[in-house]
């Protein structure tokens, strides 16, 4: 089951300005006392959600107060409860996909997980004599079903995205060549 908050607008009654003020001040209050490094880190985590315009706007900001306001407005423009789900995915990616000195959200598997959520199914192949380790993630609820293929090209390295059937992702029908040890 799922739930969604909604509002009914009645033109005869006009806008409830107290609701707008509460919403805006409530979200800005969430960042009260948050220091600039943490604000920068949160926006860095939001890199897959932010538009190019938003990225350049944030980069131009100076001082914690302006960044607090920007982040509050940034998340408020997204659907209700989106921020919590998005940041939960970032935490999972950082805990699961870290490799060497690279945080999980910066890896290909981390980006895909953060962007699309958990896969419906995954097929892991960590030890096969003629193949490098690889994983195939399937998402049944996206575009009628899509697949992402990741290969660990170098020993002990990260799994790189080498193929996807998603319209906006890397597509290479011959992706298994990257998995073969030769």
Average pLDDT on 34-58 reads 95
How is 98-160 classified by DSSP, letter by letter? -BTTB-GGGSHHHHHHHHH-S-SEEEEE--BTTB--EEEEEETTSTT-EEEEEEE-STT-PEE
65: its two tokens: 């107060």
Ramachandran bin of 78, using left for φ above 0, alpha for ψ from -120 to 50, beta for the remaining angles: beta
Q: Would the pLDDT of 11 be above 80?
A: no
pLDDT-based confidence at residue 21 (cuts at 50, 70, 90): very low
Write the pLDDT tens digit of every residue in 113-148: 999 999 999 999 998 889 999 999 999 999 999 999
């Amino acid at each position: 089951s799922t739930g969604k908050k909604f509002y009914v607008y009645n033109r005869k009654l006009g806008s409830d300005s107290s609701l707008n003020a509460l919403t805006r001040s409530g979200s800005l209050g969430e960042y009260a006392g948050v220091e600039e490094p943490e604000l920068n880190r949160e926006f860095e985590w939001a890199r897959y959600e932010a538009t190019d315009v938003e990225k350049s706007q944030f980069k131009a900001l100076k001082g914690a107060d302006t960044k607090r306001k920007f982040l509050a407005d940034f998340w408020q423009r997204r659907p209700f409860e989106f921020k919590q789900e998005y940041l939960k995915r970032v935490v999972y990616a950082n805990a699961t996909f870290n490799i060497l000195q690279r945080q999980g959200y910066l890896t290909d598997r981390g980006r895909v997980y953060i962007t699309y959520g958990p896969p419906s199914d995954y097929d892991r192949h960590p030890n096969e004599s003629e193949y490098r380790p690889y994983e195939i993630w399937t998402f049944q609820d996206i575009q009628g079903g899509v697949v992402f293929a990741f290969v660990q090209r170098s020993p002990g390295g990260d799994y790189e995205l080498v193929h996807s059937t998603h319209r906006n992702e890397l597509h290479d029908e011959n992706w298994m060549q990257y998995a073969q040890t030769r």
